[in-house]
Structure 1
Amino acid sequence: MMRAIVVDDERLVAEQIDRMLVNAGVKVLGRCVNPHEALGMAKALQPDVLFLDIEMPELSGLEIAQQVYADKLDTEVVFITAYNQYAIDAFRVNALDYLLKPVMEEDLQRSLERIEKRRQHRGAVSSGGQRMVNVELFGKFALRLEDSPDPIRWVTSKCAELLAYMLLQTLEKEISKWELFEALWPALNEEKAGINLRSTVSRINKTLRDYGAGMTLASVRNGYRLVLSDEAPTVDAAELELFVLDGVEPDTDNVSHVEQLFHRCSQPFLQEFDSAWCEPYRKQYRQYFLHLGKKLLIYYEKTDAEPFKALRLADLLVEHEPYDESLREAALKLHHRTGGTASAAAYYEAYADLINTELGALPGVRLTALLRGITD
């Protein structure tokens, strides 16, 4: 049975919510009208949920909630307020929900259902320990937990975008709020951008906590940093960058892993986001992707790999870099191996038409000489 405490300086409201909770099958451990007693009661009784009035004399519900989370009590917070204007503040302190006065039974039931779902999810997480996290930045942004087939779902697209931005920074680096304003809300003034940022951070943290993802966005001075509770997530972009910058060469021991990494990274980088901040990252990781693909193609050439497999790789690289004649040369040789002289000549002619139409140019001397050598 779910256990609750009700805190409201209006005695009649506290009694009403008490009755509604009891009728809904909730055990009310206590209720109080003095906000100073609320925190002590919560610590002593450890309820599953604390229903808190926001506007109370001397000590607000927001301040009590902040202390509840600072003390790491395993208690959800649902705010009760007469004013919708407090919604953003409620989410800022990681409250599960807020209810507008007069509280309606259907709204209370909705909150109780959300609390129950979170309790069930937490139980599953705690029984299995922290869940490994895999992050995909190529293609549609996705954060996946090792034991779940579906990626985490975000409340808004800005939640996904902000977390993707933070994951691309040096781990646990402090990012100023002004940098985040400029990246994600460049058209808004500082006040509105600040409201959006705080709301988005709060929603991200609630989602990460719900899923037991082992990370959070922490407020630090004038910005935020991504804090990890244990192991760092596996990020496809970071793995690609490390492979390239460390100068790792494909070999018989790692080629299968390299092939998997290459194909995972063949989708457009940060595909769903259209903000200007994405462009430098797209250019950077495109170069890493091409570098890895070329190394793999060289490995195929050295080991005399199956030609159709090598041709598929060459064609995929050419899709990303259509005017790179070193790639065209490799592809021309493979077309000759797999389809003979006619196939190689047709491939050359198609490329010649392409650059003539788009660039008003002719194929390079080396590529032309290669074709002649093949066809003579």
Structure 2
Amino acid sequence: MRVIVIDDEKAMHLVMNQMLSRIHDVEVAGCYQHPADAMEQIRNEDIDLVFIDINLGHDNGLEVARGLRSAHRELDIVFVTSHKEYAIDSFDSYPLDYMIKPVSQSRLEQTIARAAARIGEKSSVVDVPIGKLTVRALGGLEVKTEQGEPVKWISRKSMELFAYLLMHRGSPVSKSRIIEYIYPDMPIKNAAIYINTTVYQLRKSLHASGHKHIIANSLEQYWLLFDPIEADFVMFEDQVSQFSTLSAENIEAALACERLYTGELFDERSYVWAAPEQIRLHELYIRFAKQIGRWLLQHQKPEQAAILIKKLVSRSEWDEETHLLLLEAYGKLGDPAALARYYEHVTDLYQKELSIPTPIEFTKLYEHYREII
């Protein structure tokens, strides 16, 4: 639970900070003397509860609370004051609680317990997931609800944070690690503030589909609750693991799995932190596609093999085995023109681009099929 304290006495900031820090799962997001500063944070971040002193020097705490209630209906408010006579006047602001100074630890814990119960009630009503989220991360990043509506990102950083947590597949990631990778050029103090804003924006983006709750955090760590998420790159890797061997019975399923790989992880987004995972998934795809291509050639399906291997060549232009497989596919198709064109293409690739002789394996394979076609 994230809370803010608005009180014109700095001593009260210290007292509330100390008392709240003793309560499990409570984070003091800020302490302010001036309501305007607090409102700026509440606009940009996910805040659950605000403690407001009714007497705020030049400001009227009741008016501040009414303004907050009008702009943020889900925000809970607790009045903290030395003046009992304000209690009746505060009722039209619908406060969660009204506390008289000096506040005791036990009284504060009761209030926090009430706030936690309210948050639970609101989550059960507002944040009921509407089906699953479908994530296409291979070849870009697109998130859709079960009804086919795309999730609309509030900012590029909120989208990037979702992608970063998605890549970790439900495993917790420390706040410091997120700052290191998502805000690499920003001073740590500023980044620590911006991450709260980004999390708030991300939850707001997911709120419309009832999936705000999937952004979980505790003890300076964040993670995605993966149960309502169907991500293509996870499905691809899970399915590939089922094809240790290929047969006539599972080849169509293997081809369907291969088609899941529509591009590199996050593709044009070019997230630097995603590079190791992009490479790992790319290499997994190349090995799997080669496995399918070899099976198709061995079982006299050169037309299917050629279609698949041409796609494989476009993803791995400098892979020698892939070029050999495509040359073999043209040979088994019995197409001398295509065989000659592709051999010439490979020769140019090696001699003109790499300035080295064409490997002898290509020449032998080409001559073998040229003789029998």
The TM tier, using the shorter chain, reads 0.5 to 0.7
Q: For the residues of structure 1 that align with 2:326 and 2:66, how far apart are their CA atoms? A: 76
Q: Which amino acid aligns with 2:331?
A: H
1:282 to 267, 271, 278: 278
Counterpart position of 2:44? none
CA distance in 2, matches of 1:193, 1:302: 56
Cα distance per residue 1:61-116 (max 9 Å; x no partner): xx99996466325559xxxxxxxxxxxxxxxxxxxxxxxxxxxxxxxxxxxxxxxx
Aligned to 2:292: 296
Kindly provide the CA deviation profile for residues 159-192 of structure 1, in whole angstroms up to 9, marking residues without a partner as x.
1211111122152x22111111111111111111
Q: Judging changes above 3 Å, is the alpha-carbon distance between structure 1 residues 72 and 279 closer, same or farther for their aligned structure 2 residues?
A: same
Pair 325,238 (structure 1): closer, same or farther in 2 beyond 3 Å? same
Deviation at 1:344, TM superposition (A): 0.4
Once residues 157 and 357 of structure 2 are traced to their aligned partners in structure 1, the CA distance between those partners, rounded to angstroms, is 45
Is contact 1:131–1:213 with CA below 8 Å preserved after alignment?
Answer: no
User: Kindly tell me: are residues 187 and 262 of structure 1, through their superposed partners in 2, closer, same or farther at Cα, counting changes over 3 Å?
Assistant: same
Alpha-carbon distance in structure 2 between the residues aligned to 1:364 and 1:243 = 35
The verdict on how the C-alpha distance between 1:68 and 1:183 changes in structure 2, with shifts beyond 3 A counting, is: same
C-alpha distance in 1 between matches for 2:175 and 2:202: 16
Please say if residues 305 and 329 of structure 2, whose CA atoms lie closer than 8 Å, have aligned partners that are also in contact: yes
Question: Residue 211 of structure 1 aligns to a residue in which SS?
Answer: coil
Question: Would the aligned equivalents of 1:290 and 1:317 in 2 still touch at CA under 8 Å?
Answer: yes
Give the partner amino acid of 1:368. Answer: T
Q: Distance in 1 between matches of 2:324 and 2:65?
A: 81
Quote the residue 1:3 is aligned against. Answer: none
| CA 68–357 in structure 1, closer or farther in 2 if over 3 Å, else same | farther
Aligned to 2:166: 167
Matched to 1:340, the amino acid is D
Task: Return the alpha-carbon distance in structure 1 between the equivalents of residues 143 and 270 of structure 2.
Answer: 19
Greater C-alpha Rg: 2
1:318 lines up with 2:317 in the alignment? no
State the match for 1:140 in structure 2: 140
Deviations 1:222-266 (A, max 9, x none): 3222235xx352222222223344553344444334323322313
Task: Name the counterpart of 2:21.
Answer: none
- The answer to whether the 8 Å contact 1:145/1:151 transfers is yes
Post-superposition Cα deviations, 1:36-77, rounded to whole Å, max 9, x if no partner, equal 89xx99xxx9x9x9799xxxx999xxx99996466325559x
Alignment of 1:66-145 (within 5 A): 68=115, 71-72=118-119, 130-145=130-145
1:14 CA drift (Å): 7.9
**Maintained 8 Å contact 2:203/2:212:** no
In the alignment, residue 162 of structure 2 is paired with which amino acid?
L
Identical-pair percentage: 20
Q: Is the CA contact (8 Å cut-off) linking 2:130 and 2:210 kept in structure 1? A: yes
1: CA distance between counterparts of 2:321 and 2:143?
Answer: 36
Distance 1:358-1:264 versus aligned 2 partners, 3 A rule: same
Q: Deviation at 1:315?
A: 0.5
Residues 15/304 of structure 1: CA separation in 2 closer, same or farther (3 Å cut):
closer
State how far apart, in whole Å, the 2-side matches of 1:319 and 1:296 are. Answer: 16
Whole-Å Cα distance in 1 between the matches of residues 290 and 118 of structure 2? 53
The letter of the residue matching 2:191 is A
Distance 2:102 2:234 in 1: 49
Tell me the secondary structure at the aligned position of residue 277 of structure 1: helix
In 2, Cα distance between equivalents of 1:14 and 1:145: 37
1:192-243 Cα deviation digits (max 9, x unpaired): 1111211111221222233123752222223222235xx3522222222233
Aligned pairs for 1:207-286 within 5 A:
207-213=205-211, 215-228=213-226, 231=227, 233-245=229-241, 247-286=243-282
Hey, what's the Cα distance between the residues in 2 that align with 1:177 and 1:317? 38
Distance 1:232 1:249, change over 3 A: farther
Distance 1:272 1:199, change over 3 A: farther
Shift of residue 347 of structure 1? 0.6
CA RMSD of aligned residues (A): 4.1
Unpaired runs of 5+ residues, structure 2, are 1-50, 55-59, 104-108
1:367 aligns with 2:357: no
SS at match of 1:323: coil
Letter in 2 for 1:303: H
Give the aligned length. Answer: 295
Cα deviation code 1:102-150 (max 9, x no counterpart): xxxxxxxxxxxxxxxxx9xx5xx85xx641222221112122222x223
Cα offsets for 1:318-364 (capped at 9, x unmatched): 11112222221221122234462222011100111122222112222
**Could you tell me how far apart the structure 2 residues matched to 1:194 and 1:134 are?**
30
Contact 1:166 1:225 in 2 (8 A): yes
- CA contact under 8 A between 2:131 and 2:228: conserved in structure 1? no
Matches within 5 A, 1:32-47: 34=79
Partner of 1:81: none
Conserved? CA contact 1:136–1:236, under 8 Å: yes
Q: Show the counterpart of 1:177.
A: 175
Equivalence for 1:327: 322
Runs of at least 5 residues in structure 1 that lack an aligned partner in the other structure: 1-6, 22-27, 77-118
The residue number in structure 2 matching 1:105 is none
TM-score by length of 2: 0.66
Aligned mates of 1:133, 1:15 — CA distance in 2? 36
- Equivalent position SS for 2:154: coil
